[in-house]
Amino acid sequence: GIPCVSYENVADINDYEQIIYLGGLYAGGVKGLKNTFSLLKKSNIKTIVVTVGIADVSNKENTDKIKVSLEKQLGDDIYKNSLIFHLRGGIDYGKLNFMH
């Protein structure tokens, strides 16, 4: 029952009680995160951010670097009021092309 919307199609996120943002890590940042949360005008919306990447999330140094990047993308207020989780993804080198 939870609507799932691509960050590319988000128009207004201020009418939601809670936002759960799942995003892939690319060069330390989460794709679409900054643009999506720049639309947020209210600070009382509960936010959960879930990152997915190939970095080992059991390594505190990795998660600390991700958190620094998230704070830059989200801004201090949203970052401090968000629950943040990190998931380890996978990579299939055989499916990568030149652009990757």
| Residue 14 reports pLDDT greater than 90 | no
- Residue located via tokens 């939870």: 2
pTM, full prediction: 0.83
34 contact partners, CB below 8 Å, separation of at least 6: 73, 74
State the pLDDT at residue 9.
Answer: 87
84 to 23, 43, 50, 99: CA distances (angstroms) = 12, 16, 6, 29
- Whether residue 100 is contained in a domain is answered as no
Predicted confidence band of residue 97 (pLDDT cuts 50, 70, 90):
confident
Domain that holds residue 90: 7-95
- Whether residue 74 is contained in a domain is answered as yes
Max Cα-Cα span within the chain:
44
- Whether residue 52 is contained in a domain is answered as yes
CATH number at residue 38: 3.40.50
Count of structural domains, the chain: 1
pLDDT single digits (tens) 18-73: 899 999 998 878 988 988 888 887 767 889 999 999 889 999 999 999 999 999 99
